[in-house]
Amino acid sequence: MLKIENLFAGYGKVQVLHGVSMEVPTGMLVTLIGSNGAGKTTTLRALSGMIKPESGSITLGGVEIGGLPSHAIARKGLAHSPEARRIFPTQSVFDNLLLGAFPRLTGARPKGDVQGDISKMFEIFPRLAERRAQLAGTLSGGEQQMLAMARALMLQPEVLLLDEPSMGLSPKLVEEVFVVIARLKSEKVTMLLVEQFAAAALEVADFGYVMENGRLTASGTAASLKVDPAVRAAYLGSAH
Amino acid sequence: MQYLPQLIASGISIGMIYAVVAFGYQLTFATSKTLNFGQGEALALGGLTGWSVTTWLIAHGIGVGVAYLLMIPIVLIFGMLQGAVVERLGVRQAIKTKSEAGWIMATIALGIIFKNLAENIWGRDALKFPSPLPEAALTFGSVRIQPMEIAIVIGALAMMLAVELFNRRSIFGKAVVATANDRDAAGLMGINTGLVIAFSYALSSMAAAFAGVLVAPITTAGVSSAAVLGLKAFAVAIIGGLSSGLGVIVGGLILGITETMTGYFISTGYKDVPGLVLLLLVLSFKPSGLFGKATIKKV
Ligand SMILES: Nc1ncnc2c1ncn2[C@@H]1O[C@H](COP(=O)(O)OP(=O)(O)OP(=O)(O)O)[C@@H](O)[C@H]1O
Ligand SMILES: [Mg+2]
């Protein structure tokens, strides 16, 4: 569904990604793990058009999207729940969800049942249902994370990019977030999950990539990465 | 002191005009952190365009009241187009290259060009604008108010309310607010934020053009005072806060009333001073405005 070939990207003169190639097949949950500053967020930003790739190809469902502005990419069905959540603080929880469906409400994507999907988000994230009229900026960090995920899902995306949904959450909330991810996986939502929390990510994913200094250094099924000695030593906090 | 109610009443309508133009400053600041320093000229152009349309309609046998009402939508559209031109020529590139001074110089330059254009089309002299309402003042006790002054207050409030309702209720308005909150995140929602910024410039000039045809029947239409007016409305936007909708109304009224008081107790020759002094005071002591939170680090 999502295919990246030989992607180079960075910020101005700072080159971050040095030829990244990866694939997210339809209905699969793929995870991208790596240490701080490896380039995971940069990868997602290049995919969703928040930064322009310098070179390489990105295709979504066979259509080239590399270099398009982010609004055009979203309209083609790529949803991005960004690092640090980036919810709209002065708007209500409900309006944040409506904005997630902006391309559906304005004719750029099939409309479907927007109200029904909002109800579904409230069912998946009951904490949001209780706070539907509350301004998003007044939510707790965990609630904002759930809102960011729900907002991205409101696109009814072809592929969902999740950037560290566990960041800054209590262990209990991290668990809740991973339960939701597992549920989305069972509903065949195609996802690319960036995580620092590698053990949990590999537990739930089908396939994984490991990134170091802007290059992929390992890849394979999640099960094989979990037992790979190098991956275990570097990211799973155990050397045996 | 028996003139106090009269001075306040007279200050309110001009204060509302400042408020509408200041509201225009807020609109573009919210989405792009930039301002159109040609807002005074946009107001003047709106007034002059309105004058041409109204006098043309009257010349074709339409009554002044109807002519005025028919003219309003035309001037609103004209204002939007004029604002879109300013965004396209003066602002878009500066935002793209993150140039901090670019848009300031460009919008001032465009204001001057529009002023020159207007002087060549309509001349330098102020034009008498046909009043759609009776010019005889109504008396309320000791206070005399022109019907048009009441129309200014109602029209100004209606316009600001309409924009607020659009922003809160419609999905496109919510997209504008989302862009103001976080431009990158709004892009991820499929919102064309470049278009939203162009639209906010269009709305901003539309507000100024509307203010121009509201005030012209009690003053006149012309470009001679455009720059001063733009600067005073900027003072109101700073007093009211560049990010607070209600603040500009309070700021506008403060300035409008202070001006009529200055005119009465000191001299009409110093009428422009309070606005500029207020601007200097607020900029030195409370850069975020009295009611707003955002600081204007780029001005
Ligand atoms: N806006 C920016 N401008 C310049 N350099 C940046 C910017 N954002 C990130 N970088 C640099 O790019 C590199 C990769 O950063 P990135 O955010 O992609 O890492 P990451 O893998 O997501 O890390 P983390 O797990 O800490 O979120 C880092 O060296 C970082 O300093
Ligand atoms: Mg990151």
**Tokens 């004058």 sit on residue:** B51
Query: How many C-beta atoms lie closer than 10 Å to residue B96's C-beta?
Result: 10
Which pLDDT score is estimated for B291? Answer: 58
Q: Nearest residue on chain B to A78, judged by CA atoms? A: B188
Cα of A224 to nearest chain B Cα, Å = 34
The protein residue whose alpha carbon is closest to atom 26 in ligand 1 is: A36
Instruction: Provide the b/e sequence for A187-214 (b: ≥16 CB within 10 Å).
Output: eebbbbbbbbbbebbbebbbbbbbbeeb
ipTM of the complex: 0.95
| Cβ within 8 Å, pair A82-B185 | yes
Mutational test site, ligand 1, from A42, A81, A86, A210, max ligand atoms within 8 Å of CB? A42
Cα of A195 to nearest chain B Cα, Å = 20
Mean pLDDT confidence for B19-38: 94
Query: How many C-beta atoms lie closer than 10 Å to residue A181's C-beta?
Result: 25
Specify the range with the lowest mean pLDDT, choosing from A40-44, A126-130, A134-138, B94-98.
B94-98
Distance CA B73, CA B27 (A): 20
pLDDT at B131 over 70: yes
Q: In what order do the strands lie in the sheet with A14-24?
A: A14-24, A2-11, A55-60, A63-64
Pairing relationship of beta strands A191-195 and A159-163 according to DSSP bridges: parallel
Task: For chain B, say whether A74 makes contact (Cβ under 8 Å).
Answer: yes
Q: Which domains does chain A have, with CATH numbers?
A: 1-77+158-168+189-240 (3.40.50.300), 85-156 (no CATH)
Task: For chain B, say whether A71 makes contact (Cβ under 8 Å).
Answer: yes
Which pLDDT score is estimated for B288? Answer: 66
What 3-state class would DSSP assign to A39?
coil
Which pLDDT score is estimated for B227? Answer: 84
pLDDT at B293 over 60: no
The protein residue whose alpha carbon is closest to atom 5 in ligand 1 is: A11
Kindly state if the Cβ of A82 falls inside 6 Å of ligand 1. no
Mean pLDDT confidence for A68-81: 98
User: What separation in Å is there between the alpha carbon of B82 and the centre of ligand 1?
Assistant: 41
| Cβ within 8 Å, pair A70-B184 | yes
Query: Which residue of B26, B174, B188 is the best one to mutate when testing the A interface, meaning the one whose CB has the most A CBs within 10 A?
Result: B188
Tens digit of each residue's pLDDT (9 = 90 or more) over B168-179: 999 999 999 999
Neighbouring residues of B242: CB distance < 8 A, sequence distance ≥ 6: B25, B26, B29, B30, B289, B292, B294, B296
Kindly state if the Cβ of A38 falls inside 6 Å of ligand 1. yes
Q: Contact, A101 vs A114, CB < 8 A?
A: yes
- Percent of chain A residues past pLDDT 90, beyond the cut: 91
The per-residue pLDDT of chain A, averaged, comes to: 94
Kindly state if the Cβ of A213 falls inside 6 Å of ligand 1. no
Which pLDDT score is estimated for A63? Answer: 96
Domain residue extents for chain B: 4-226
Which pLDDT score is estimated for B245? Answer: 73
Q: What angle do CA A162, A168, A169 make, to 5 degrees?
A: 85
Mean pLDDT confidence for B144-163: 95
The per-residue pLDDT of chain B, averaged, comes to: 91
Query: How many C-beta atoms lie closer than 10 Å to residue B3's C-beta?
Result: 14
Which pLDDT score is estimated for B285? Answer: 78
pLDDT at B299 over 50: no
What 3-state class would DSSP assign to A134?
coil
Which pLDDT score is estimated for B295? Answer: 44
- Using 50, 70 and 90 to split pLDDT, how confident is the model at B297? very low
Q: Nearest residue on chain B to A156, judged by CA atoms? A: B189
Kindly state if the Cβ of A151 falls inside 6 Å of ligand 1. no
Residue A75 identity (one-letter amino acid): R
Tens digit of each residue's pLDDT (9 = 90 or more) over A139-150: 999 999 999 999
Mean pLDDT confidence for B256-278: 87
Contacts of B172 in chain A (CB under 8 A): 106
pLDDT at B272 over 90: no
Which pLDDT score is estimated for A238? Answer: 54
Kindly state if the Cβ of A39 falls inside 6 Å of ligand 1. yes
Distance CA B254, CA B291 (A): 13
What 3-state class would DSSP assign to A133?
coil
177-196 in chain B: CB under 8 A from chain A: 177-178, 180-182, 184-194
SS (H, E, C) B269-290: HHCCHHHHHHHHHHHHHCCCCC
User: What separation in Å is there between the alpha carbon of A82 and the centre of ligand 2?
Assistant: 9
B145 sits in which H/E element: strand B143-145
- Using 50, 70 and 90 to split pLDDT, how confident is the model at A7? very high
Kindly state if the Cβ of A75 falls inside 6 Å of ligand 1. no
pLDDT at B290 over 60: no
Q: Identify the burial level of A238 via C-beta atoms within 10 angstroms of its C-beta, where 0-12 means exposed, 13-18 middle and 19 or more buried.
A: exposed
Q: Contact, A117 vs A64, CB < 8 A?
A: no
Cα of B177 to nearest chain A Cα, Å = 8
More confident residue, B138 or B276: B138
Which pLDDT score is estimated for B3? Answer: 84
Q: Nearest residue on chain B to A98, judged by CA atoms? A: B171
- Using 50, 70 and 90 to split pLDDT, how confident is the model at A239? very low
| Cβ within 8 Å, pair A99-B172 | no
Long-range contacts of A231-239, Cβ-Cβ distance < 8 Å, separation of 24 or more: A231/A198, A234/A35, A234/A210, A235/A33, A235/A34, A235/A35, A235/A198, A235/A199, A235/A210, A236/A198, A236/A199, A236/A202, A237/A199
Distance CA B126, CA A198 (A): 72
Which pLDDT score is estimated for B208? Answer: 97
**Tokens 């009229």 sit on residue:** A133
Distance CA A65, CA A56 (A): 11
The dihedral built from the CA positions of residue B48, B49, B50 and B53, taken in this order, carries a sign that is: positive
Residue ranges of E strands in chain A: 2-11, 14-24, 29-34, 55-60, 63-64, 78-81, 159-163, 191-195, 207-212, 215-221
- Using 50, 70 and 90 to split pLDDT, how confident is the model at B274? confident
Q: What angle do CA A141, A185, A234 make, to 5 degrees?
A: 70
Question: Which atom belonging to ligand 1 lies closest to the Cα atom of A196?
Answer: 25
Kindly state if the Cβ of A239 falls inside 6 Å of ligand 1. no
How far lies A64's CA from each of A61, A91, A189, B188, in Å? 8, 33, 21, 17
Neighbouring residues of A88: CB distance < 8 A, sequence distance ≥ 6: A95, A96, A99, A136, B177, B178, B181, B182, B185, B186
Distance CA B214, CA B225 (A): 16
Which pLDDT score is estimated for B287? Answer: 65
| Cβ within 8 Å, pair A50-B184 | yes
Kindly state if the Cβ of A41 falls inside 6 Å of ligand 1. yes
Mean pLDDT confidence for A65-82: 97
Mean pLDDT confidence for A173-180: 93
More confident residue, B83 or A232: B83
Tens digit of each residue's pLDDT (9 = 90 or more) over A13-68: 999 999 999 999 999 999 999 999 999 999 999 999 999 999 999 999 999 999 99
pLDDT at B244 over 90: no
More confident residue, B270 or B107: B107
B108 sits in which H/E element: helix B102-122
Which pLDDT score is estimated for B79? Answer: 98
